[in-house]
Every structure is written in C-alpha cells, then in structure tokens.
Chain A
Amino acid sequence: MTFAVGALALSGVMAGITYLTARAGFLNERQAEFRRQAFVNASLVQNSLRVPGTAVGQLLESVDTLPGSRSVLATHGQWFATSISVGQSQIPPAERSLVLSGTAASQTFTIDATPEVVVGVPLPGVGAAYFEVFSLEEVERTLRTLALTLAIAAGVTTLAGAAVGRWAAGRALRPLRGVSDAAVAIAAGDLGTRVDAGDDADLSVLASSFNRMADHLQERIEREARFTSDVSHELRSPLTTLSASLSVLEAQREQLGPTGQRALGLLAGDLSRFTRMVSDLLEISRFDAGSAELSLDDVDAGELVRHALAAAMPPHGAAGPPERPVVVDVTPRALGLRVRVDKRRIERIVANLVDNARQYAGGARRVVVDAPSGPGARGPILRITVEDAGPGVAPDERGHLFERFYRGRSSGRRGAGEGTGLGLALVAEHARLHGGSVGIEDVPGGGARFVVDLPIDPEPGGPATDGARAASTDRADPSR
C-alpha cells in the first residue's frame, strides 16, 4: 500500500515536471517562431509601404502568414486588419503604446477566452506599426493532450508498478517465509529443520548460511546433552562401587567407634545425594535428548501417591529432626480412581515435591489426590497437590521455580543442602511427558500449594498396549 502511494506520488511528480518542462519549451519555441514570422512580415510590409500608392488592404492580404495568425497594421493613425476578429481595440493598450513609441514587443492575452500572442514591430521608416496576432489555441490543445497523456501514463505506471512490486515482493519474500518458518520450528525445539533453497540462486546463499547455522546449533545442543549424559553414565560405575562398599561398611556399623559412625553417616548421606544427582542429571539429559518415554501402568491413584510418599520419607535413623507425618487426602471422587501413568515418574513427582517442601518450606503439610473434571469436560483428570507450611511463593517467582538449578530468594534458607537443584525441573518435565501441567498457588492461611494435573490416560483410545510393548518400540538410545 505504502509502496503504491509512493509510486503514485513519484510518477505524479515526474509527470508534472515533464509537463511543465515540455510546456515551457514548447511555448518558448512557438513564441520565437511567432516573433521570427512577425519580423519577416513586418519588413515585407515596410518595403511594400515604401512603394507609394500601395493598397494597404491588399498588402496585408498578401502577407504570408501562419495558419490562424492575423495581421494588423497601424499607419498614420489608421488601423487595418486581415480579420474582423482583431483590430486596434483587441491589441492590449500597453502593447499598442509600447510599439507605437518605437519598441518591438510581444504579449500574451485572450480574445473570447482564446489565448493569443500578439507581436508588435514598429516600422518607423514608414510611420507605421505592424502587429501580428497568433492563436495559441492549437498549442494549448497540444499541451492539454500532453497533460492527459502524462496523467494516464502516471496512473498506469503506478498501477503497474504496484502490481509488479507486489508480485516481486511476494516472490522475493516467499523463500524468506520458508526461512522464517524454519526458524520458528527450530525455536520450538525441532532442531532438525532445514531450509530447501530449491533453484533460487539468491535464496541459496541465505539458505545455506541458515542451514549451516542450524547445523552448528544442533550439533552444539546435542553435544551438550550428550556430554551431560556421558558424564553421568561414567559416574555410575564408581557410584555403584561406592554404594556396594558402603553397604558393607554399614553392615559393620556397630564395630565402628562413634567418630567412625558419624563419618559413615555423612558418607551415606552424601553418597545418596550424589546418586540422586547423577540420576537426575541422566533423567534430564534424556528429556533434552528427546528420548524420554512413558512406561504406562494401570494403578490406583490414591495408592500410588501413598506409596510414593512412604518412599519419599527419609529412612528411620536418618540424620536430622524427626519428620512430621504427611497427611494424604483422597477426595471422594478420586477414591478408587484407576489411572494409566508411568508409575516411576509419578513417584518422582511426589517425592520431589515433598523433598522441596521439606527443604524450603518446613515440610509438606498435606497431599491431596483429587479428580476434578478436565478441560473440555472430557472426563476427570488426576490432580495431585502438595501443600507446604512455608511462607508461600511470590507470584513473580512461581514460573522460575521450575527452572533447573534455580536458586530462589529462599536459597539463603537452603536446608541441609540435600537438593540436587533439578527436582522441580524434573517434576515439570515428568508432568509434561504425561501431557499434564504443574502450577503453584497460595494456600489461604499461608503456605504454597503445588498443583500437578495429569490426564488419567495419556493415550486414550490407544491400543491395549502393555508398557513393555510401548517401550520396545523405543527409538535407539542416543546416550549409548
């Protein structure tokens, strides 16, 4: 649109300049011609008048004039004209007096709305003045035609320009749209997206540099994901050795002195934290590599959460203050609810949320299993909420809490340093893998409530698959 307006303005200005230039040139040329003609005729008249007895009327008739021009002669106060349409009275007075006083002059004026040019030449030798009146009508007509032509040309140029511009822009931008689509796809996580330049020479430069960039990006991201995975894999062997050796020591705990027992307790605590950290890193690198898969089981929702909670409680005899038992409420509508979920992942969700509450918010107060109706009234969903006894989470912090290694404002109160920094990030990933979501709310009366919503069957209508069959079609594990 802007382009069309611009084109119109530009062609309008160009047409205007063309018209004015043409008009000035044309008029100057015509007037020079008129003057030349008038001077030629004037000298002819003067020569004739020198001959005594010349009939002035006949003389004027004999003058060779341009079509549409008329002659007027003033001699000894008498005025003669070749046409009744012009005469003394039609010659503008200023022109008349100028010429009669001996100066040649020309002037443009109108007779009956017709533009005329009068050229006056004094003939002092014979006591006369010769005027010739030329019509500019033809010139005006030509100029009008020119103006019209130019206006039409400007209009056509504008329209054609706009059309061509539009077509060209569309053509030029179409490949860019492909690049833009590819960029959007890559940003959305589809790192394998590339641009096909086709046979467009201009685009192929852009496409190849874009693709090169995408290659580098993909390579880098994959390398990083692989690195995390590789490191964690490598750490597992020594961890296995440590864990097995530690269990031997723990079996002989009584034979150690109090110092040895304390050291053993520290060792056991941090080894289990280290193990969890490596497991969490591996887990998250699997999400990053896109190789995380659900292994679905049919379970009772309330039962699942109870068991997960029992497993999440620190073992008896663990260091630290004794834990307050966490209440699990299964709402009436969630009672006996069968869900099809990845048991291990749901257990991790519950355990990580409870761990989080324990470390940052004085422990979980209540865990609720509910089955509200899902969006779009497509039957119930599974909702697991974990309420803590902490100060709550500021609204602007809620989104960040599920980021990896996020150290919130409460980090100063970081408890015994048991966290891996990945717990909540994994909660979000596990929920997402199920097609669910996580959120944080305030509990009236203080505390935060972590809400996990999950579909009760992530693949409704799917084949009556066993978890095993689903898993056996796994894509190859890139970390091996």
Chain B
Amino acid sequence: MAAGPATLWSTTRSGRPAGRFPQGRSVSTILVVEDDERIRSSMRLALEGEGHDVVDVASGEEAIDAFARDPTDLVLLDLMLPGMDGFDTCRSIRRASAVPVIMVTARSDTHDVVAGLEAGADDYVTKPFVAKELGARIRALLRRTRAADGDVGTLTFGDVEVVPDAGVVRRGGEEIHCTRTEFRLLTELARNPGRVLSREHLLEQVWGYDYFGDGRLVDVHVRRLRTKVEADPANPRYIITVRGMGYKLAA
C-alpha cells in the first residue's frame, strides 16, 4: 500500500489540520471494533461518558472502511472478530496510518498479545477489563500523541537520522515509516546514547504509563523498530538488549 507521509499521520474527522503532532484538541474520536453488540453499546456509553466521540463497528471489514473514510484518533480493536480477525484488521489499518491501536484480547498470557503487538498494536487490554483502566490507557496514549516531544534537534546514529520535531526518521537519507510509539521509542533511545534504559523507564517515557505497563510492549516494539533501522535485525548494531537491564542505543 502506498502510504506516503501525507497519510501517515493524517487528519481526523473533526477536521483538525494535518500535522504529525496534533495538539490542543480536547475531544478525541475513538473507533471501537467489537462484535458483541452489548459490549459495544456499553463501551460507547462509557467512552462518551469520558468525553470521547465514538464510532463503533462490528467487524474488521467495517472498521477498515470506517477508518479509511474518517480516521479516528485511536482504535480499540477486539482480536476475536468474525470474518477478518483483529490481527489482519490491525495490519491493514497500520499500512495506512500510525494511529494508536489498543487491542482487546481474551488472555494476557498467550501469544495473542505478542501477535497483536507484532501486528502493530500499541497496547492491549484483557477482557473483562475495567473501564477505568481502559480510560486511563486511552488518556495516556492520546495525551502522548498530542504532546510535543520536546525541543531536541536532529538525533543521528549510524546512517539513521531522527528528527523529533518533524516526526521523521530517515535511514540513508530515505524516510522510514514508524508508528508514533516506535517513533517515541527510537527518540528516547537516541536521546540517551550509550545509556541503558529499563523497560519500566521506557514504558513511562514512551507509552506514558506508570509502573503497570507490560514489559512485552517494549520488547515487541524494539523488535519492530529493529526491522526498520537495523541492517540485520537478528544481530542489531544500534538497539542493543542488555540482559537483566533493558535496552540501549549503542553510542
């Protein structure tokens, strides 16, 4: 899919101006993809109660259509869907957009979580989730996407160039498409070359979560990032795992 920078972080249905780091909007639109009608309705009520606009659909196909028609600020995606499943739906949305995706899984300890993250989700919640907890995660991800990433200049390592203000990553002069989470993760690492950053630190800085994030979020995102910036992702030169500690960017 030819996803150029223009569609990468595109405008939302509220007509917010196109920009990589949308700011200053208080009402966010959330796309809820859930086949259970009751859950869908109750989530709509709860999210609207929290001040969000909600678009809800019952299948992956509808979700892709709805998102293409009118991209939302965040997608809440059930993995178990009739027809096209959540993984494919997530990949499909990812090809067109860097929108934050929270997937809803049946279990937290299976490969579903990892597979969902690999498919491009930014985070996950497990059914039955507590609405408050979901609300907190949504707020964290939205706050994060709105906030400026700080005023740092261009960061470079090897042939990779990160421009935080512009939200651009280039490798060998060519732009690489990253999700917001990947971008923030890379920026955080590049800002602290040679320093080991723990998973907790990264969860806090990149996802905006307190302690209760899942370390697997970091692991999968690091892996995805490696496929984009490393020449040989299996033997990374830049983003190094420090066993028992976390990750660091080789200085």
A interface list, Cβ under 8 A from B: 233, 235-248, 251-252, 272, 275, 278-279, 282, 286, 291-293, 295-299, 303, 307, 311, 338, 340, 343-344, 457, 464, 466-469, 471-474, 477, 479-480
A106 CB to nearest B CB, Å? 103
Task: List, sorted by A's number, 26 A–B pairs whose CB atoms are closer than 8 Å.
Answer: A235-B128, A236-B128, A240-B39, A240-B43, A240-B129, A243-B131, A245-B45, A247-B131, A248-B42, A248-B46, A292-B109, A293-B109, A293-B110, A297-B199, A298-B198, A343-B214, A344-B214, A457-B244, A466-B215, A466-B216, A471-B109, A471-B110, A472-B111, A474-B110, A477-B110, A479-B107
B204 CB to nearest A CB, Å? 12
Q: Which residues in B have their C-beta under 8 angstroms from that of A311?
A: 212
Decide if A472 touches B115 in the complex (CB within 8 Å). Answer: yes
- In chain B, residues 75-129, which have Cβ atoms closer than 8 Å to a Cβ of chain A? 106-115, 117-118, 127-129
Query: Interface on chain B toward A: helix, strand, loop, or mixed SS?
Result: helix
Q: What is the chain B residue whose CB lies nearest that of A272?
A: B130
A278–B126 CA distance with the chains assembled, in angstroms: 12
Q: Which residues in B have their C-beta under 8 angstroms from that of A477?
A: 107, 110-112
B5 CB to nearest A CB, Å? 29
Decide if B131 touches A295 in the complex (CB within 8 Å). Answer: no
Decide if B106 touches A468 in the complex (CB within 8 Å). Answer: no
Decide if B109 touches A468 in the complex (CB within 8 Å). Answer: no
Q: Which of A240, A248, A303, A471 contacts B216 (CB 8 A)?
A: A471
Q: What is the chain A residue whose CB lies nearest that of B37?
A: A241
Whether A237 contacts B49 in the complex (CB less than 8 A), given A340-B244, A480-B106, comes out as no
Other 17 A-B pairs with CB < 8 A, given A244-B39, A245-B42, A468-B219: A233-B106, A237-B36, A239-B128, A244-B46, A244-B131, A245-B45, A246-B131, A248-B49, A251-B50, A282-B107, A298-B199, A298-B244, A338-B244, A343-B215, A464-B241, A467-B216, A471-B216
Q: What is the chain A residue whose CB lies nearest that of B34?
A: A240
Q: Which of B50, B113, B199, B243 contacts A464 (CB 8 A)?
A: B243
Whether A244 contacts B241 in the complex (CB less than 8 A), given A466-B216, A472-B111, comes out as no
Q: What is the chain B residue whose CB lies nearest that of A315?
A: B132
A239–B220 CA distance with the chains assembled, in angstroms: 29
Q: Is B53 an interface residue (CB 8 A)?
A: no
Q: What is the chain A residue whose CB lies nearest that of B131?
A: A247
Q: Is B211 an interface residue (CB 8 A)?
A: yes
Q: Which of B49, B111, B211, B244 contacts A247 (CB 8 A)?
A: B49
A311–B136 CA distance with the chains assembled, in angstroms: 15
Q: Which residues in B have their C-beta under 8 angstroms from that of A466?
A: 215-216, 219-220, 222-223, 241
Q: Is B246 an interface residue (CB 8 A)?
A: yes
Query: Interface on chain A toward B: helix, strand, loop, or mixed SS?
Result: helix
A194 CB to nearest B CB, Å? 28
Q: Which residues in B have their C-beta under 8 angstroms from that of A241?
A: 36, 38-39, 41-42
Q: Which residues in A have their C-beta under 8 angstroms from that of B43?
A: 240, 244
A477–B115 CA distance with the chains assembled, in angstroms: 13
Q: Which residues in B have their C-beta under 8 angstroms from that of A307?
A: 211-212
Q: Which residues in B have their C-beta under 8 angstroms from that of A340?
A: 244
Decide if B244 touches A275 in the complex (CB within 8 Å). Answer: no
Q: Is B245 an interface residue (CB 8 A)?
A: yes
Q: What is the chain A residue whose CB lies nearest that of B246?
A: A298
Whether A468 contacts B114 in the complex (CB less than 8 A), given A236-B106, A297-B199, A344-B108, comes out as yes
Q: Which residues in B have their C-beta under 8 angstroms from that of A299?
A: 200
A272–B199 CA distance with the chains assembled, in angstroms: 29
A241–B39 CA distance with the chains assembled, in angstroms: 5
Q: Which residues in A have their C-beta under 8 angstroms from that of B42?
A: 240-245, 248
Q: Which residues in B have their C-beta under 8 angstroms from that of A472?
A: 111, 114-115, 118
Q: Which of B45, B118, B127 contacts A236 (CB 8 A)?
A: B127
Q: Which residues in B have their C-beta under 8 angstroms from that of A471?
A: 109-111, 113-114, 216
